Amino acid sequence: MALRPPIDVAARVSSELSATIESIVNDPDRERALTLGEVLEILSKRGGQTPLSADLLHPQDQTSIIVEMNELVSEYGADARAIDFVAGQASEALSRVIEAAMNDPSLPDEPTLSLVRSAIVDGLAAKLVGDGALDADEDTTVLAEIDELIRRSGEDAPAEEFVRFE
């Protein structure tokens, strides 16, 4: 079993490759975690075709994903966990919750994922639903989403890094 890299390697991966890796590792038919080598093999068999729409990627970009994967494999090894190379970003709803937590004077200026999770449990998401900033069904989904971000990145990861700016 390969060790996790000591740095945030997902920050060094293009958004196209991150999305491609994520779609491959999240395939519900897969029973175990994939390695970079296995993802490279899958991409190579597809001939560079990614699960993203052909309208989104130029053919040169499809080829560059294979090149980028080869570089990752040579730098981190074929046995590195592929999920470590997926850049985590919060959904629009969770981004609103994180921004509300960052603006909450009762929380530190730079809250961690665990502090935002605690704020959600303590009623921040419900307050945002009441204010109309979140839909009622988003109240429960943001908790599951932040739990997944904590699982991937750790409790002490700064929450602001996951805010989606669109």
The pLDDT tens digits for 18-50 are: 878 888 887 778 778 889 999 999 988 876 444
Compute, in degrees rounded to 10, the torsion defined by CA atoms 98, 18, 22, 126: 10
The domain boundary, picked from 85, 102, 136, lies at 85
Assess if residue 1 is contained within a domain. Answer: no
User: pLDDT band at 151, cuts 50/70/90?
Assistant: confident
User: pLDDT band at 87, cuts 50/70/90?
Assistant: confident
Same domain, 44 and 20: yes
Q: What is the mean pLDDT of the chain?
A: 80
Q: Which residues pair with 112 in a beta bridge?
A: 158
Counting the structural domains of the chain, the total is 2
Same domain, 134 and 109: yes
* Residues of the domain holding 119: 92-162
- pLDDT over 70 percentage in the chain: 82
Alpha carbon distance 132, 117 (integer Å): 20
Q: Which residues pair with 158 in a beta bridge?
A: 112
Alpha carbon distance 25, 39 (integer Å): 8
DSSP class of 86: S
The domain boundary, picked from 55, 85, 115, lies at 85
> pTM of the predicted model, to two decimals?
0.56
Q: Which two tokens stand for residue 127?
A: 């307050």
Q: What is the pLDDT of residue 25?
A: 81
Do residues 82 and 33 make contact, with C-beta atoms less than 8 angstroms apart?
yes
Q: What is the pLDDT of residue 127?
A: 93
Alpha carbon distance 74, 34 (integer Å): 16
